[in-house]
Structure 1
Amino acid sequence: MRRRRQCTTWSGSAVGVQCQRLTRHDGPHGASPTSTYDEHWSWSDDDLDAIAVFTGTVWFHRPDRDRTGKTARFLGKWTALGLFAALLWWVDSWVTAVVFLALEVLLSVRRAHFVDLGRFTAGVWPVTPAAPAVIFGVAFALHGEGRNAKRAGIEIILGPVVVGVFSLVLRSEWPAYKRSQAAFDDRQKERRS
């Protein structure tokens, strides 16, 4: 495989950054301050000092980095888990195999995932590293802090992850929250256009 490298073109002295696209790329040059920044600078070969700012990130992804090892480990792990689930199905039942695979997927979560269900949200997220080690636990999510806070939902702690379902706001505050959210969405649409 031929190695492709980063474009070597630098912008003018106003910003002074190197293009983060690949060599021989199509279109203008681009660079972002960090890989998670929500804007990037763009310039052309015609005028290196004419810098334009656009939304989105330009992140130089190195294609020469070996990804086959990572893919092989991923496929090997899931092949072994699938074989073990098939063994569980054969020895016990299909319910045991499905529960095993579901728990394996849940316990492998490394970042938060949420699904909005109207006023409620369901999600799974990693346990805070500062929290005490718990193998299994049940807790209540609360609106606010202190003993007088109202219950928002339930959380189930399964080792390194938490699975929870809770309401975003109290039932009495839901209409005002929806109006506020609609006004925010309208402001965002006006900004984009």
Structure 2
Amino acid sequence: MYQLVEVATSLVWAAVVWLWVSLPAALVYLVVDLLMSIRRPHFVDVGRYTVGVCMGPRPKFLFGVAFTRYNGHARISGFEVLIWRHSLMVCALLPRDEWAAFQLSKAQRRAAMEKGEDR
């Protein structure tokens, strides 16, 4: 019940912002409100990329890039936006040159599993 009231309140405030300011401002309000309600990490894999939200240790606001280490070398893996303690990021799961090899091996494993199940 509490979550339903929270969602209804957010939608009412977004409608007020839409009427008094603009539709883009209302959409930004809804995205920021949703982002601030997150309390634990949530990630979704979308092809070669992963999109997610997680909590950081210190409050801040900035735009930046996320780094990862492949074979001991730090490379840029994605884009990150930090709002207060919430981090919204989009990161590559693998470098572009390794993604094709990964997809091929995944398809071969899937074909081997299907062949083994048919017996």
TM-score of the two chains, using structure 2 as the length reference: 0.75
The residue aligned with 2:32 is 103
- Counterpart among 55, 75, 81 of residue 4 in structure 2: 75
The residue aligned with 1:126 is 54
Residues in 2 aligned to 1:97 and 1:155: alpha-carbon distance in whole angstroms: 22
1:181 to partner: Cα distance = 1.7
TM-score of the two chains, using structure 1 as the length reference: 0.50
- Counterpart among 172, 175, 182 of residue 107 in structure 2: 182
Residues in 2 aligned to 1:153 and 1:162: alpha-carbon distance in whole angstroms: 12
Contact 2:57 2:85 in 1 (8 A): no
User: Which has more strand, going by share of residues?
Assistant: 2
User: Which has more helix, going by share of residues?
Assistant: 2
Structure 2: gaps of 5 or more residues: none
Higher relative contact order (CA 8 A, sep 6+): 2
Task: Report 1:88-99 matches (<5 A).
Answer: 88-99=17-28
- Counterpart among 135, 138, 142 of residue 63 in structure 2: 138
The residue aligned with 1:112 is 42
1:168 to partner: Cα distance = 1.8
Contact 2:35 2:53 in 1 (8 A): no
1:139 to partner: Cα distance = 3.3
The residue aligned with 1:166 is 91
**In terms of mean alpha carbon deviation, does 90-99 or 146-155 score higher?**
146-155
What one-letter code is carried by the residue in structure 2 that aligns with 1:125?
Answer: V
Question: What secondary structure is seen at the aligned counterpart in 2 of 1:135?
Answer: strand
Structure 1: gaps of 5 or more residues: 1-71
1:133 to partner: Cα distance = 0.8
What CA deviation, in whole Å up to 9, does each residue of 1:144-181 have, x standing for no partner? 17984221111112233322222221222222211222
